[in-house]
Amino acid sequence: MAGYVSEAVIKRLPGYYRHLRELEAAGVVQISSQELGKRMQLTASQIRQDINCFGGFGRQGYGYKVSELKGHIGEILGIDKPHSMIIIGAGNIGNAVAQYPSFIKEGFQTVAIFDKDSQKVGRPIGNQTVRTVSELEEFLMSTHVDIAVLAVPVPDAQHMLERLGALGVQAVWNFAPTDLKPPKEMIVVNVHLSDSLQILSYKMTHCDEK
């Protein structure tokens, strides 16, 4: 059980959680690193090493208790507690995020949606109504939010990031296809959908030569 956890391990955690959730739903109560490895296309060794970054959750000769391990990883991911989100940009992406059922199930709750376009302001999205982005300061003054979802056009993204930072927002989930320079102490995770699509294009173009 180490102090430092590498980025590689962190990126695998949601995968563990997803599989454990599916296993639990299927009524599986116990699983060995070998079985889980077969399911997740990882070696048993790697699974044991990953899990032991956080503590010995297994029992020798038995394996891991699915619900227990899922609980631990949920805690480690920080999704055992609910998170409040605001969405900046009520376009297609903003819309999709606001209504994506998995997020709500996992405790990520959208508490407000903002847009600068007056045509969009007032429209209902999910259980929210789109607000003017000029109300942002006022809103954040009175309400604490954990995460801001940035779904604005590229030219507005950096400026909005800094505006959010100044208002005390610490975490941003960015959908603008650009590399933002996060102010200190701000955490930004990018989605970059185009990157993912371009990788698909790369693999299509080069799949034969292998």
Q: Of 39, 59, 144, 159, which lies in the binding site for DNA, with binding defined by CB under 7 A?
A: 59
Q: How many residues bind a copy of itself (CB under 8 A)?
A: 55
Task: Name residues contacting a copy of itself, limited to 147-206 (CB under 8 A).
Answer: 147, 170-171, 173, 177-179, 185, 187, 189, 191-206
How far apart are the C-alpha atoms of 25 and 19, rounded to whole Å? 10
Q: Counting contacts by CB under 8 A, is residue 76 touching a copy of itself?
A: yes
Sheet holding 147-150, edge to edge: 124-125, 128-132, 108-115, 83-88, 147-150, 171-174, 187-190
Q: Whole-number minimum distance, CB 205 to a copy of itself, in Å?
A: 3
Helix, strand, coil percent values for the chain (each to nearest 5):
45, 20, 35
Please list, in sequence order, all residues whose beta carbon lies within 8 angstroms of the beta carbon of residue 149, skipping any fewer than 6 positions away: 85, 86, 87, 88, 89, 94, 97, 172, 173, 175
Please return the burial class of 53, using the count of CB atoms within 10 Å of its CB with bins 0-12, 13-18 and 19+.
Answer: middle
Q: Of 22, 29, 52, 129, which lies in the binding site for DNA, with binding defined by CB under 7 A?
A: 52
Q: Counting contacts by CB under 7 A, is residue 71 touching DNA?
A: no
Question: Judged by CB, which is closer to DNA: 9, or 167?
Answer: 9
Q: Two tokens at 44?
A: 């048993």
How far apart are the C-alpha atoms of 20 and 69, rounded to whole Å? 8
Q: With b meaning 16 or more CB within 10 Å and e meaning fewer, what string describes 62-98?
A: ebbbbeebbebbbebeeeeeebebbbbbbeebbbebb
Q: Of 34, 46, 103, 139, which lies in the binding site for a copy of itself, with binding defined by CB under 8 A?
A: 103
Q: Which does 141 bind (CB under 5 to 8 A by kind): DNA, a copy of itself, none?
A: none
- The amino acid present at 133, given as its one-letter code, is V
Question: Judged by CB, which is closer to a copy of itself: 15, or 63?
Answer: 15
Q: Which stretch in 52-60, 93-101, 112-120, 196-204 sits in contact with DNA by CB under 7 A?
A: 52-60
Q: Give the binding site for a copy of itself (CB under 8 A).
A: 5, 10-11, 13-15, 17-19, 22, 40, 76-79, 83, 92-93, 95-97, 99-100, 102-103, 106, 108, 146-147, 170-171, 173, 177-179, 185, 187, 189, 191-207
Q: Give the binding site for DNA (CB under 7 A).
A: 1, 6-9, 32-34, 42-46, 48-49, 51-52, 56-64
